[in-house]
């Protein structure tokens, strides 16, 4: 740490939250020690910079937002937050479902750490690289990675929580191809950790592979082993059925995706999303590694499992970038209009029974109540299996290796939606989650954190949580890196 590192002199705690307020002189000292940018509320760029993807958290106003230019700046921010005893929130893409990437203290946004280098079967990315940027760099080098479908999502966040993608079943989770992480821990040390690092760094690397972001330090760079894609072809597909077939599609799809004869070159999801209460068709969408003609018999077996051929089937050949993150669907990789949303999740551990599928479909049928109200609600089940199941539950911090899929229930609304309609959407969301709880049990996806989830330790982390706690005790015993569902030391 340079001798010029600012030593803040925080003012008295103020306000009902008891959050320490730093003086203007303290913030000026931090900026003087940084090469990057520090935004304060009085600056014009602050209002846009403080916003996350989710409008629900627009009322949160950080004291400052730091954009480090390099690892040195990250170290400065960590020392500053620790010395000043102020909340430190970490942000990569700003997609935190629960709003945990903002807060009332200092937000450390790593989006400026966006370098890319792909060669020799490896990719080295800065933690601020976004999905589309990563996939474009990979494609140019004839390489591929399972790094998430959303073009604007932060690479660090998606990887540290496991990482679902358009190639999940073929290549595994994003964290499965992770080989090295550069991280600044609470003591201000810059560590480069790998699976074969000396103890305790090997345990820290293990926890970073699927244990969730923001728990152990500030990740600044990630190194991956890449897949060679130079001789591969791709297709995207969509199969739809009538609304009345939802239960049959849900049950049949989970049986089909769990069938070991379904090729792992198929990665897909079941989706039914009702916009403004309009009837929504159940669909299965996904990516296939191979020629479109080879996909037809695979989808025929899906139709047989459902018991209906469907009302439509579309198969389109595409390049790697479109297969990986559907860049054309997302307006060329830019974020669309912001909305507010809430979400919950479950882990689908086995093919759904007829009763479970019927209850899920009945919950979806209730969405007609939102007719005429802007926004959408529904659910998405991302398929697991394939390469995900090649590792045991304790091989990484991501425990759901034997599961069939991850279901996420979503409800979206616009900023002009009145409170009664928002409450109805939240009531539906809580209701369908509660209805499915007896069928699916305790389980959830750490990259879709639900602030209302009571038993989140078991849901997200399962039997891996005690080991994660020991890692936390070793690298952040005073819990500088914390939020309501952060890993805590044992005891």
What is the helix (H) or strand (E) element at residue 424, kind and residue range?
Answer: helix 419-440
Residues 453 and 305 in one domain: yes
> What pLDDT is recorded for position 304?
98
Among 74, 109, 144, the domain boundary falls at: 109
Give the distance, in angstroms, between the CA of residue 336 and the centroid of all CA atoms in the same chain: 18
Does one domain contain both 218 and 266?
A: no
Q: Within this chain, do residues 414 and 448 fall inside the same structural domain, yes or no? A: yes
- Report the distance separating Cα 459 and Cα 452, nearest Å: 12
Positions of the chain with pLDDT under 70: 1-17, 276-279, 326-336, 369-374
Q: Residue 73 is part of which domain span?
A: 24-109
Among residues 473, 412, 439, 385, the alpha carbon closest in space to that of 168 is found at 385
pLDDT digits (tens, 9 = 90+) for 436-481: 999 999 999 999 999 999 999 999 999 999 999 999 999 999 999 9
- In a shared domain, residues 284 and 426: yes
Whether 161 and 212 have beta carbons less than 8 Å apart is answered as: yes
Domain count, the chain: 3
Same domain, 262 and 401: yes
Pairing of strands 405-413, 376-383: antiparallel
Number of Cβ atoms within 10 Å of the Cβ of 247: 21
Looking at residue 17, its pLDDT comes to 67
Residue among 212, 150, 211, 125 nearest 382 (CA) = 150
What's the CA angle centered on 476, arms 125 and 17, to 5 degrees? 100
Which residues on neighbouring strands pair with residue 225, listed in sequence order?
Answer: 122
Among 109, 136, 168, the domain boundary falls at 109
Q: Are residues 189 and 258 located together in one domain of the fold?
A: no
Q: What SS3 class is residue 454?
A: coil
Burial of residue 153 (number of CB atoms within 10 Å: 0-12, 13-18, 19+): buried
Q: Does 439 reside within a domain?
A: yes
Q: Rounded distance, CA 197 to CA 180, Å?
A: 10
CA 440 centroid distance within chain: 21
Residue in 178, 132, 130 with CA at minimum distance from that of residue 153: 130
**Could you tell me the CATH number of the domain that includes residue 377?**
3.40.462.20
Task: Report if residue 14 sits inside a domain.
Answer: no
Q: How far is CA 407 from CA 351, 363, 383, 436, 447, in A?
A: 12, 14, 9, 10, 12
- Residue 112 contacts residue 91 (beta carbons within 8 Å): no
Q: Are residues 193 and 317 in the same domain?
A: no
| Residue 15 included in any domain | no
- The span from the CA of 309 to the CA of 264, in Å, is 22
Assign residue 97 a region (left: φ > 0; alpha: ψ between -120 and 50; beta: otherwise).
Answer: alpha
Distance (Å, whole) CA 209 – CA 382: 19
Q: For 317-346, give the DSSP string.
A: EE-HHHHHH-TTTTTTT---S-BEEEEEEE
Position of tokens 């939250």?
Answer: 17
Of 80, 109, 138, the last residue of a domain is 109
Reduce the DSSP state of residue 64 to 3 states and report it. Answer: strand
Q: How far apart are CA 210 and CA 399, in angstroms?
A: 8
pLDDT given at position 15: 47
- Which structure tokens are listed for 321? 């970038």
Q: Is residue 144 part of a domain?
A: yes
95 CA to centre of own chain? 7
Q: Which residue bears the tokens 């994003």?
A: 174
Q: What's the token pair of residue 448?
A: 């879709």
Q: Answer yes or no: do 43 and 83 share one domain.
A: yes
Are 27 and 46 in contact, with CB atoms under 8 Å apart? no
Q: Which residues contact 437 (CB under 8 A, 6 or more apart)?
A: 346
Task: Identify whether residues 48 and 83 lie together within a single domain.
Answer: yes
The answer to whether residue 11 is domain-embedded is: no
223 CB neighbour count, 10 Å cutoff: 17
Reported pTM: 0.94
Is 176 a domain residue? yes
Query: How high is the pLDDT of residue 139?
Result: 96
CATH number at residue 213: 3.30.465.10
* Judgement on whether residues 293 and 339 belong to the same structural domain of the protein: yes
Are residues 105 and 221 located together in one domain of the fold? no
pLDDT by residue (tens digit) across 266-286?
A: 999 999 988 766 668 999 999
> Is 464 part of any domain?
no
| pLDDT (0 to 100) of residue 280 | 84
**pLDDT confidence of residue 491:** 87
Q: Do residue 370 and residue 290 come from a single domain?
A: yes
Residue 192 neighbours by CB under 8 Å, 6+ apart: 180, 181, 182
Strand-pairing partners, residue 236, are: 287, 316
Give the residue from 30, 104, 134 showing the smallest Cα distance to 482.
104
User: Is 264 inside a domain boundary?
Assistant: yes
Torsion angle, alpha carbons of 280, 283, 287, 291, to 10 = -120
* pLDDT for the residue numbered 291: 96
Q: What is the distance between the alpha carbons of residues 225 and 178, in angstroms, rounded to a whole number? A: 6
Tally the residues of the chain. Answer: 491
């Amino acid at each position: 740490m340079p001798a010029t590192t600012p030593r803040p002199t925080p003012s008295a705690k103020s306000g009902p939250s008891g959050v320490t307020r730093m003086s203007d002189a303290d913030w000026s000292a931090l900026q003087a020690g940084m090469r990057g940018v520090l935004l304060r509320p009085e600056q014009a760029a602050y209002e846009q910079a403080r916003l996350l993807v989710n409008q629900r958290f627009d009322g949160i106003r950080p004291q400052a937002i730091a954009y480090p230019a390099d690892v040195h700046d990250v170290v400065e921010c960590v020392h500053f937050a620790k010395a000043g005893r102020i909340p430190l929130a970490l942000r990569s893409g700003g997609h935190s479902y629960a709003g945990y990437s903002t807060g009332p203290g200092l937000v450390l946004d790593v989006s400026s750490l966006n370098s890319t280098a792909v060669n020799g079967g490896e990719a080295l990315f800065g933690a601020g690289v976004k999905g589309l940027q990563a996939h474009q760099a990979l494609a140019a080098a004839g390489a591929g990675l399972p790094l998430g479908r959303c073009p604007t999502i932060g690479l660090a966040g998606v990887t540290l929580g496991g990482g679902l993608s358009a190639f999940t079943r073929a290549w595994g989770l994003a964290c499965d191809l992770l080989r090295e992480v550069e991280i600044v821990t609470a003591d201000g040390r810059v560590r480069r950790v790998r699976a074969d690092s000396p103890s305790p760094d090997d345990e820290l690397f293990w926890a970073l592979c699927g244990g969730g972001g923001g728990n152990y330090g500030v990740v600044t760079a990630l190194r991956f082993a890449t897949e060679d894609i130079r001789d591969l072809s791709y297709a995207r597909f969509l199969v739809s059925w009538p609304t009345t077939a939802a239960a049959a599609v849900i049950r049949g799809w989970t049986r089909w995706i769990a069938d070991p004869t379904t090729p792992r070159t198929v990665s897909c999801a079941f989706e039914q999303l009702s916009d403004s209460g309009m009837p929504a068709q159940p669909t299965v969408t996904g990516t296939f590694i191979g020629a479109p003609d080879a996909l037809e018999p695979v989808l025929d077996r899906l139709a047989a499992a459902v018991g209906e051929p469907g009302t439509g089937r579309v198969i389109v050949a595409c390049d790697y970038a479109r297969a990986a993150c559907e860049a054309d669907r997302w307006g060329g990789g830019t974020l669309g209009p912001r909305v507010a949303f809430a979400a919950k999740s479950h882990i689908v551990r086995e093919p759904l029974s007829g009763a479970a599928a019927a209850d899920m479909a009945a919950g979806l049928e209730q969405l007609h109540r939102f007719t005429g109200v802007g926004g959408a609600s529904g659910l998405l089940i991302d398929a697991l299996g394939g390469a995900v199941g090649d590792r045991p539950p304790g091989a990484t911090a991501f425990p759901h290796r034997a599961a069939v899929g991850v279901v996420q229930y979503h409800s979206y609304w616009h900023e002009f939606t009145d409170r009664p309609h928002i409450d109805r959407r939240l009531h539906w969301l809580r209701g369908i989650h509660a209805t499915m709880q007896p069928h699916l049990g305790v389980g959830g996806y750490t990259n879709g954190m639900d602030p209302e989830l009571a038993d989140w330790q078991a849901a997200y982390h399962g039997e891996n949580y005690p080991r994660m706690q020991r890692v936390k005790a070793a690298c952040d015993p005073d819990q500088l890196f914390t939020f309501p569902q952060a890993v805590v030391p044992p005891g």
